[in-house]
Chain A
Amino acid sequence: MRVGSVVLLKEQLCVQSYGWNTIRPLGSLQGVLDSLEEYQCDEVAIIRPVRKNDTLNKFQQDIKVIKALKTMTPISFGGGVRSIEHLNLLKGLPIERIIFSSAFLEKKRELITLAKDLFGHQAIKCLLPICYQNNKVHVYHSSLGNYVPLSNIDTKFIDELANEIVLFDTQHEGGKDQFDWLLLSGIPFPLEKIIISGGIGKKTKLSAQQQNIASVLIDNKVLHQEYSILDYKYA
């Protein structure tokens, strides 16, 4: 199975997020990617952890950093791709896939279809930041800045347009082997289409492999020790 990493990009620099509420600095994006490439990381998802206060200008500033990237590792990019204007800025960037979150929750068919036409169906990923609240799975709606019950989301729409779905455990983000498997119990997507992230450890990776999950994306932990990816791959 693929073993990749999530890298958060905030104000042109990488940051680490813990439990969806604490931000710690990390460093330059190029420096992080250089190391992940050396670690033989299969894919990197670069995500802008934006909420409702994102602006096109902030998006453009971050795009400049993406544009200057030099890497051989396949890149997925997302976070704040909410309009056709945003999408147009992604043309010609060194990225393989686009990650939408709010666009899926708000059923922006026109935007996602255009992305599909521009980059191909295999390039479309849906990010669902999820957690357990009151015995129900909730999804974080980034452009609203709050959680909504998964039952309020049109999962058929997501299944139709997304090639892969990233389930991100927000409560256990930054933790080690803490990914909450209960989150998958109410998820109506085929496991081969699912990528999990948030609190991934070596044991999580092993379980994911046994369940035929497409990929795991390691969060902060990936740079906490030398050559970490290999340890996960052969866990």
Chain B
Amino acid sequence: MHEFCPKCKYPKTHPFGLSITDSECSGCFTHREKDTIDWAVKREELESEIKKYKKKKKQYDCIVPVIGDAEDFYTLSKVLELGLSPLVVCVNDYFKNDIGWHNLHQLITHFDVDSFVFNPDIRVYKDLVRTSLRKFDHIMLPFLQLHTSFPVHVAYERNIPLIIWGQNQAVEQVGKFSHHDTVQMSKWSRRQHDLFEVETEFLIGNGAQVDVRNLNYYQYPAPEVINRRGIKGIYLSNYFRWDPLSQNQSVVDFGFKPERNFSSFDIYERAGSSVYYGLHDLLKYKRHGYRKVDDHVAREIRHGRLSSEEGMIISNHYREIPVDIEPFFNWLDVTSSGYEWFCQHRLSSLGHLISRDSSDVKEIILPDKINDKLSQSTDAINHHMLFGKGLFI
């Protein structure tokens, strides 16, 4: 039995599951479909699919859930190119830094779209994050629960039956479905791929002492209800040849600001998050045995910008880069002794990856094919900004 894909080096421990043969994994196999698909036909399929959602009056045709990521710029540009009138919906994860807030505002103002930013009750949210960390070694679950259910609630309440997502991660990362399956959003997929089977109810009870009335938007509506309203969620990566690094580089022209990244060469994906390449990445390493850079390396090997050998060198380099996780614990109102206890007991095997200072990190020389896709990046100044627009609490 193979533990890693011989080609892209993805591990079998990937939480989405991975089928590995002697020559490649399901992710590599599915990626090769991209070279055989007639993408013009796919686009026609998409145009025919969305035709019935286009409204004649001044109403929204669809919802586009965003976080202010580079991919959101690309997705929104495609939605507008298709002639749709979107309502952009964002859930505040309270983890954004100044670059994250800049990018979110830039997204909305550059494309001049209507937006709706939901700020969940922060006491409830922090309680859930605390429990999620304690029980599941994961700090993003409450956000992911909201990010994947709140737009569906908005779709239902405002009668906007089409939700457009960017990439289907399960297809892009592990090739769980063929592009030809044109898999749609579903409660099952959300639980399996976004929540790792941890629904909100797992975070309450003996965890967070939260009134269930506060959790409505964390929970996905019943499929029966969604079906009755005719709500459908589609993924653009089933209809456009998806190449995140190239796409993300292109959105710099729209005013997207990349962020310097010490934990991977990818300066676009989740730029503007105070935790994504910090504690979140470390916990991912603890849970699954690989870091975010391994996702990036696998992706670039498949796109032919890295060889397997180059990929391994890059992964080995970034996998050993330490990160500063203390600001997260300050955000969570954990005492310094609590922070030290956590590092000592819950991150004992990863102690060498915790550091307050990343300035002495050695640079790695990247292959030209990767370098050509990277733009100028900057460092964030303010981290863990709860709200944007200059208001800092």
Contacts and interface: CB of A to CB of B under 8 A. Distances in A.
Interface of A: 13, 15-16, 18, 22-28, 31-32, 34-35, 38-39, 174, 220-221, 223-227, 230
B185 interface: yes
Contacts of A13: 17
B44 to A, nearest CB: 17
A226 B19 contact: no
Nearest to B222: A38
B3 to A, nearest CB: 13
B17 A27 contact: yes
A27 B30 contact: no
Given A24-B30, A39-B223, A226 B186 contact: yes
Contacts of A23: 19, 26
A34 B30 CA distance: 27
A31 B19 contact: no
B311 interface: no
B262 interface: no
A16 B29 CA distance: 14
A31 B192 contact: yes
Contacts of A24: 19, 26, 30, 175-178
A27 B192 contact: yes
B247 interface: no
B342 interface: no
A225 B183 CA distance: 6
Given A15-B19, A23-B19, A31-B192, A226 B174 contact: no
Nearest to B171: A24
B174 A25 contact: yes
Given A24-B30, A31-B191, A220 B227 contact: no
B372 to A, nearest CB: 32
Interface in B15-41: 16-19, 26, 29-30
A35 B26 CA distance: 24
Given A31-B192, A223-B186, A226-B226, 12 more contacts: A24-B177, A25-B16, A25-B18, A26-B17, A31-B197, A38-B222, A223-B189, A224-B177, A224-B184, A226-B232, A227-B224, A227-B227
B181 interface: yes
Nearest to B16: A25
A28 to B, nearest CB: 6
Nearest to B12: A25
Contact of A25 (B176, B178, B223, B226): B176
B187 interface: yes
Contacts of A38: 187, 222-224
A94 B18 CA distance: 28
Interface string B161-195: 00000000000001111100111111111011000
B62 to A, nearest CB: 16
B180 to A, nearest CB: 8
Contacts of B177: 16, 24, 220, 224
Contacts of A27: 16-17, 188, 192
B36 to A, nearest CB: 14
Contacts of A15: 17, 19
Contacts of A22: 29
A35 B199 CA distance: 14
Contacts of A28: 192, 197
**In the A-B complex, the 7 residue pairs with the closest CB atoms:** A25-B17, A35-B188, A227-B227, A226-B186, A225-B184, A27-B192, A227-B223
A117 to B, nearest CB: 38
